[in-house]
Amino acid sequence: MKLHHDKHHQTYVNNLNAAQEKLADPNLDLEGEVALQAAIKFNGGGHINHSLFWKILAPQKEGGGKPVTSGSLHKAITSKWGSLEDFQKEMNAALASIQGSGWAWLIVDKDGSLRITTTANQDTIVKSKPIIGIDAWEHAYYPQYENRKAEYFKAIWNVINWKEAESRYSNR
Ligand code: MN3
């Protein structure tokens, strides 16, 4: 599975920086400030989401796709979903349910419980900690899979960095 994201991640960063720069203008009125919030939410979310995405993916030769079966995350997933396969099935169903652009997430709530959720556009996870995030924007799969979205959702598990996921969960 190829990754195509470097340039477009930079675009979110550039647009975030531009919006933050404008926000720092002492002559900006309140209307201007409010208008910039959408750009900050979108591009800031895009930056945060992709920063996690790159960490949570790894090429197969670097261990991508290889579940860590000894750790606390694996234990928590199998106790909630029965098996890793059943968890992946539910995550893929969440990915498939996204209308338009968005992300699917495995998150851990403050009480330690795991949950699958989705966000629209570049909305990011606040208040809970994302463990795995999967980009379900068309740009994430179209270059390699065209409209075969389900194939992308299946293949993404071959490059999930379970070591990183485990460490995000156990260091929460
Ligand atoms: Mn993307």
The residue among 151, 119, 159, 158 whose CA lies nearest residue 135 is: 119
Q: Which residue has the tokens 């208008």?
A: 35
What's at 118, amino acid-wise? T
Q: What is the pLDDT of residue 2?
A: 45
CA distance 139 to 136: 8
Q: How far is the centre of ligand 1, averaged over its atoms, from the C-alpha of 101 (Å)?
A: 9
Q: How far is the centre of ligand 1, averaged over its atoms, from the C-alpha of 76 (Å)?
A: 28
Q: How far is the centre of ligand 1, averaged over its atoms, from the C-alpha of 62 (Å)?
A: 22
pTM tops 0.75, yes or no = yes
Q: How far is the centre of ligand 1, averaged over its atoms, from the C-alpha of 152 (Å)?
A: 13
Q: How far is the centre of ligand 1, averaged over its atoms, from the C-alpha of 31 (Å)?
A: 30
CB 107 within 8 A of CB 115: yes
Q: How far is the centre of ligand 1, averaged over its atoms, from the C-alpha of 77 (Å)?
A: 26
pLDDT tens over the chain, length 172 residues: 444 457 889 999 999 999 999 999 999 999 999 999 999 999 999 999 999 999 999 999 999 999 999 999 999 999 999 999 999 999 999 999 999 999 999 999 999 999 999 999 999 999 999 999 999 998 888 889 988 989 999 999 999 999 999 999 999 9
